[in-house]
């Protein structure tokens, strides 16, 4: 199953696309380390993501996210990113230059279903979460596409099939 261990694989995509769970499984199968940018942000800031948003605001969260992304990109690992990582041009440049970028696509209904019981995502602290996800997705989809080397519809496959498909596509590319 394993391929070149030096290849860094970066997972991007909307909230609920399965970046963390697919990333962990992909890392295991491909015998790579796994890093989750959101988890590293919490470790770096020593507070939860909702607390960062509440006390420092989104802009400061994005500053921390960029710093942590740069740190994570020093490792040859499978790296799962947060859904908003592609918002900044510098982040997009870093992603494109530092690994194979896999866009995990999931339609808005899937995003909505998978995030509906979650209170750890400040971007979804609104009354109409579905509309919010749709608005965010329409803005971000072109940016995900701009960065992606490979795109996988993770809304239509289970984790195992996603991992197999990613590995196949990387081998073909």
171 is in an annotated binding site: no
Q: Is 18 annotated as a binding residue?
A: yes
Cβ atoms of residues 38 and 57 within 8 Å: no
Q: Which residues 6+ apart lie within 8 Å of 152 measured at CB?
A: 102, 103, 104, 105, 162, 165, 166, 169
The three-point CA angle 94-167-42 to 5° equals 45
Q: Which is nearer to ligand S3P, 131 or 168 (CB)?
A: 131
155 is in an annotated binding site: no
Q: How far is the CB of 53 from ligand S3P (least distance, A)?
A: 7
Interacting residue ranges for ligand S3P, rule: CB under 6 A: 15, 19, 38, 49, 82-84, 121-123
Closer CB to ligand S3P, 69 or 166, in the complex? 69
Helix (H, G, I), strand (E, B) or coil at 98: helix
What minimum distance in Å lies between the beta carbon of 98 and ligand S3P?
19
Least CB distance from residue 33 to ligand S3P, whole Å?
18
Any known ligand binding at 140? yes
Alpha helices, DSSP H, located in the chain: 19-29, 37-45, 49-56, 58-72, 89-98, 108-115, 129-147, 159-172
21 is in an annotated binding site: yes
Cα–Cα distance for residue pair 49/61, rounded to 1 Å: 8
* Residues contributing to the annotated binding site for Mg(2+): 20
* Residues contributing to the annotated binding site: 16-21, 38, 62, 83, 121, 140
* Residues contributing to the annotated binding site for substrate: 38, 62, 83, 140
């Amino acid at each position: 199953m394993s391929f070149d261990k030096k290849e860094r694989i970066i997972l991007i995509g909307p909230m609920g696309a399965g970046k963390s769970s697919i990333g962990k499984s992909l890392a295991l199968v491909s015998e790579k380390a796994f890093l989750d940018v959101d988890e590293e942000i919490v470790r770096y800031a020593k507070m939860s993501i909702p607390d960062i948003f509440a006390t420092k605001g989104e802009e400061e969260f994005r500053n921390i996210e960029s710093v942590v992304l740069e740190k994570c990109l020093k490792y040859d690992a499978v790296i799962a990113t947060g859904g908003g990582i592609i918002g900044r041009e510098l982040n997009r440049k870093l992603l494109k230059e530092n690994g194979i970028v896999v866009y995990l696509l999931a339609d808005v209904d899937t995003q909505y279903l998978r995030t509906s019981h979650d209170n750890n995502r400040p971007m979804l602290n609104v009354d109409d979460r579905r509309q919010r996800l749709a608005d965010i997705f329409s803005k971000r989809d072109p940016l995900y596409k701009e960065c992606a080397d490979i795109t996988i519809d993770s809304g239509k496959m289970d984790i195992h099939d996603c991992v197999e498909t990613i590995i196949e596509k990387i081998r073909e590319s």
